[in-house]
Structure 1
Amino acid sequence: MAPTPATEIATIPLQAGATIEDPETPAGKIWSATLDTISQQDGYQRCYYGRHVEAQTSLDLFVDWDSFEHHQTFTKSPVYGPFEKNLSSIMDGSVVMRHATLDPHPPSNAVGNTSVPVTEVLYTYLDGRDETYESNAKKFGEILVSKSDACKGVSTGWVREQLAGPNADASDKKDVFIMLIGWESKEQHMEFRGSKDFQDAIPLVRKGTLDMHHTSFNEK
């Protein structure tokens, strides 16, 4: 049986002034080395990253792997310690790490700088994995794509790890469902949120605790 692909979803708190986009700066050289190391690992498929539009020192790093186990093998390899130490030198805090099996995989219809200028990253924190919620989320995505020309595509799935929601006690772990929704722009997404089509559809996913931001992704 072929392995199940997985996407590593890391939120990295960057130090203020860490100019990772400029490969000539110290932070940029560290970031380039980080991406090079990841891309050299067995099972690596694709890597894309970007700052949160709403919080510029928060960075999303998404890595598509042949399987969750391939990423785990990397974290247990001899290169991982120096890799982690190098990356931590431009961080201001701890990484929040998640893994998800997304549909479709890879989520290139919703993430990527070539055809998707900005991605809405929506987490829903729930008391248990709810198949009805998953089905409703897929319906919600279909409505967005069909009703808005600005919506480029949607990829969804359950996060492997249980996590505490925003402003929740760290011990209050929940099941997490993720939706990646590609848009022409944040402004067009926010404009569509005021439409009747959106207002009619949003009850499908309005459950638990929702946490949303936008990221403009670059691909390695």
Structure 2
Amino acid sequence: MTVTEVGCMGVKPSLDVTNDSTAEGQILTKLYKYVITAPGGSLRVYWGLEAENPTYLWAFFDWNSIEDHEKFARTLGREAVKDMPKILNRGFFTKHITATPSLSITLQSPVTEIILAYFPSDISSTQRDSALGRLQNFEQQGLNSILGIQSLSYGWGVENDFPVRGGSDDQNASILTSFVGLDSIDAKGKFRESLAFEKLLCLVRSMEGNIKLESFSVSFRSLTRNTETGTFEDI
């Protein structure tokens, strides 16, 4: 089963890291092309800046397993990230999530609304399953029929020690992720003003044990591995 690595990093001030015409942008694109073509590398990679706070860089990598990711990190990871200190001032975390199969489609949308919900590290499997069931019911009530919404994906973090953004340095949590793929920036604005968005936030906030919720949007760039040729393709 595919697992998705998720990383959040801090970008140095005044750097345009998602623009290939800049030196800093070339560093990032070169890195992700390497990760997608190197032996044992990622299947797909998506990266972009938070629209609301572009000092936060988010990257998602699809792997066949956590073991594949860990093996790559041990053998080729140091070479891959050697230039990252030139453009980043902090690495907030690198963790993993498992999400519904539509995650790839959702991250390829022109805009992706991301909702992170934090829960106690010791949340039970029953509570986890209940939360997923409620999101599934919400999806089946016709969310995808709303104008501008392309897809919905959701899932739990694999680890239970995600740092809580805005919390104390030692505050960790389990995390439930929700992703809404939107077809334009205009659609994002309309979605945020919609009853559906309000219901989604209320649904997640009402889940047992919820500590905190935050929402932001990212327009991702992406690459996928061509397994036959070992090269990459823009997606």
TM-score normalised by structure 1 residue count? 0.85
Relative to structure 1, is the Cα distance of residues 147 and 199 closer, same or farther in structure 2, using a 3 angstrom cutoff? farther
Mapped to 2, the partners of 1:92 and 1:18 lie a distance apart of 11
Relative to structure 1, is the Cα distance of residues 55 and 179 closer, same or farther in structure 2, using a 3 angstrom cutoff? same
1:20-169 → structure 2 map (5 Å cutoff): 20-39=17-36, 40-42=38-40, 44-77=42-75, 79-104=76-101, 107-112=103-108, 116-127=109-120, 128-129=123-124, 130=127, 131-143=129-141, 145-161=143-159, 162-169=161-168
Counterpart for residue 230 of structure 2? none
CA displacement 1:99-132 (0-9 Å, x = unmatched):
1111116x122111xxx11001111101214221
Counterpart for residue 206 of structure 1? 205
The one-letter code matched in structure 2 to 1:215 is V
Question: Contact 2:35 / 2:80 at 8 angstroms: preserved in 1?
Answer: no
Mapped to 1, the partners of 2:200 and 2:24 lie a distance apart of 42
> SS of the residue aligned with 1:23?
coil
Deviation at 1:145, TM superposition (A): 2.3
Deviation at 1:134, TM superposition (A): 1.6
The one-letter code matched in structure 2 to 1:28 is G
Identity of aligned residues (%): 22
> SS of the residue aligned with 1:191?
helix
Question: Contact 2:49 / 2:56 at 8 angstroms: preserved in 1?
Answer: yes
The one-letter code matched in structure 1 to 2:187 is Q
Mapped to 1, the partners of 2:142 and 2:201 lie a distance apart of 10
Deviates more, 1:205-214 or 1:143-152: 143-152
Counterpart for residue 171 of structure 1? 170
The one-letter code matched in structure 2 to 1:178 is T
Relative to structure 1, is the Cα distance of residues 143 and 73 closer, same or farther in structure 2, using a 3 angstrom cutoff? same
The one-letter code matched in structure 2 to 1:110 is T
Mapped to 2, the partners of 1:147 and 1:23 lie a distance apart of 35
Mapped to 2, the partners of 1:200 and 1:82 lie a distance apart of 45
> SS of the residue aligned with 1:12?
strand
Question: Contact 1:65 / 1:71 at 8 angstroms: preserved in 2?
Answer: yes
The one-letter code matched in structure 1 to 2:29 is S
Question: Contact 1:43 / 1:67 at 8 angstroms: preserved in 2?
Answer: no
User: How many residues align structurally?
Assistant: 212
> SS of the residue aligned with 1:32?
helix
Question: Contact 2:144 / 2:150 at 8 angstroms: preserved in 1?
Answer: no
CA displacement 1:166-185 (0-9 Å, x = unmatched):
22223222111111111123
Question: Contact 1:155 / 1:181 at 8 angstroms: preserved in 2?
Answer: yes
Unaligned runs of 5+ in 2: 224-235
Relative to structure 1, is the Cα distance of residues 178 and 45 closer, same or farther in structure 2, using a 3 angstrom cutoff? same
User: Does residue 6 of structure 1 match 2:3?
Assistant: yes
Question: Contact 1:20 / 1:27 at 8 angstroms: preserved in 2?
Answer: yes
Deviates more, 1:163-172 or 1:85-94: 163-172
Deviation at 1:73, TM superposition (A): 0.7
The one-letter code matched in structure 1 to 2:113 is E
Q: 1:216 aligns with which of 209, 216, 219?
A: 219
The one-letter code matched in structure 1 to 2:215 is M
